[in-house]
Structure 1
Amino acid sequence: MSSMAERRHGISTPAASTQLKLRFIDRDEHVYFWFPLLAGLSELTFDPRQEIRHSALEVLFDILRFHGGSFAQSFWVRIFDSVLLPIFDHVRAEVTDTTTFTSEKRRQQEEQWLYETCTRCLQHLVDLFVQFYDEAFTLLSRLLDLLRGFMNRSHQSLAAVGVAAFVRLAVKAGPIMNETCWEEVIAALLAILEETAPEARDLITPPPRLNPAVAAAVATAVATAAAPISTSVSSAISSEITPASGSGSPSGGPSAHHPPTAPSGAAMANGGGGAAPVGAGGRTFTLREGVGARRLAKFRCQAATQLLLVQGCSEIYANASQSLPPGAVRGLLDALAFIHRHAHAADMDMDLRRRLAVQQ
């Protein structure tokens, strides 16, 4: 009776207002209501027409910002998986197309398009995560994986976009994240630093020359996702590599605990003493074309990403120092120490520096 009287006289109570508030959850009728609109706008964010692309992107995130407060945690997960992540699937497809099948002029236009779209999408995505953190915090690991994917690309513009979004996330969400979430962020930072650490020795190591039988064995091992390649295959590969490296391992560089050894006589005769290394088929290994040029481009991109991450660590500490737990501060210091150790090891390797000079 009291509730009927309250409704008759227009009286609102906290319990009544809570009951009247609509919450969208991961249920068929709610999905069918929202997803034709949201998924359609998601598709249009990569329309070839710039005005359509820009408008669709802004409208999509305006809707999510305005109505996101009525979405339950399960509904945010569905939106992330079915609406937001597919935008970045388009990015992967477009990057493959522009780096493989297009002319230089079109490639520049496409890269500008990708850079603009990805920058705005990631900024909006981070801002949404922060705005609705109470419901979306379970998506932190997926968001970090997405950003790691960008930072790990051998595409300098997209890697830079990923670093900028990562720093934006740490700075904006820092005051509301607990220690466990900070541990996830720092773990992602340390992982991407290891993944993007540039290997200078790849620039002086010619590609292996494999006979058909060994090549087939390697392809089989990779295709079946075998653990390490078998001993017989490994020995066969080693026997087919043209002597060129001054160290014991053709792909790994010296570490802080294992300083570089003196090059062997064969290596000195084939690159350690000033001659350019010889690659597959007896051709001189060079950084100006082919495999060498691709390795150099990847090295430059990774080095640039590491520099951006150094700046990012500084910015995170400068803007979020008041909310950083002690473990996160130690993590930032560990990240900077890792970069220093890696760069210092390469800088102090005199054999590596001499052979890189020959490759210039």
Structure 2
Amino acid sequence: MKKLIIFLIIISYPFQSISEELGVISLMYHRVGEGKYPSTNVSIEMFQQHLKAIEESGLKFIEPSKFKKHILEGKKFEQRHILLTVDDSFKSFYQNAWPLLKEKKIPFIIFVNTREINSNHPNYMTWDQIRELRDSGLVTIGGHSWSHEYFVDMKLDEVKKDIEKSHQDYLKELKFIPDLYAHTFGETSKDLINLIKKFNYKIIFGQHSGVISQNENIYYLPRFSLNENYGKPKRFKNILRSRAFNLKSYEPKTILLNSSNNPSNLKLTFNENVKGINCFDNSGGSWRNTKINFVSSSEIELIFDLPFKKRRGRVNCTLPAASGLIKWFGYQYSVIN
């Protein structure tokens, strides 16, 4: 009788499916040990805590080349991995994080914007240091533009010239042009994505929370952005428990919001029962529970009563999953006036 009860619990559990994709947890860092920039910084102690927590979790780092191959071949990530990424090439990362990563032989992607490196800005790495990372065998260089400006506020022709400048720098200093890219500030639009794709970037990252799977847009992949607030131990441990939803589709596929479409409700369709899902958004300028209309047990509509404020509108949805994991979906709107 006891075995029968256990069997019935297992087959009725709505979150467990052997065929589901677990996904990749992509972490994003900027500065390490630069306390005067808390929104883009983690302390050295916090970074060390993160590495220890990952080790204790049993999760393994995936090499960027293996990750890229997996994504482009359309293979499911049947085991959870960590993909470590770094934006902007700040010197504090080189000084305070690189020695730890090198010692532990942890692979990562660094997305390099080139203007400040060219001008020998004191807060940025030098090209010699970038080459050192490249030659280590651990580090993959990604594109991140020349200026790192707010591209959603610029004309497409200006963005095109900006990226072309960065490519000239990559060729001169590194002898190659990267094929991975990260949107500056995580902000983008359909037109920007189409432009950037023309530069032969194969995979493009945003900076909105969520777990990478084959159900995501490979030109707008999520990453968990970590700083002194969002890198605290409790949240970081929850990030390490995250896994992908079995997402079928979402509509509309709007990224850029303006006065004519802000806000736009978001409809999510899953290949699973999502009763019990919780969503949060920052419409109106502060985080709040999102109103959810259940069209069915596997289809929901997120309803936003207030417009999102300028720059970034964010949505996060989570659902308890088997084995103590958390299914996590995130989305980011780029908001202009």
TM range (shorter): under 0.3
What is the TM-score when the length of structure 2 is the normalising length? 0.23
Greater fraction strand = 2
Greater fraction helix = 1
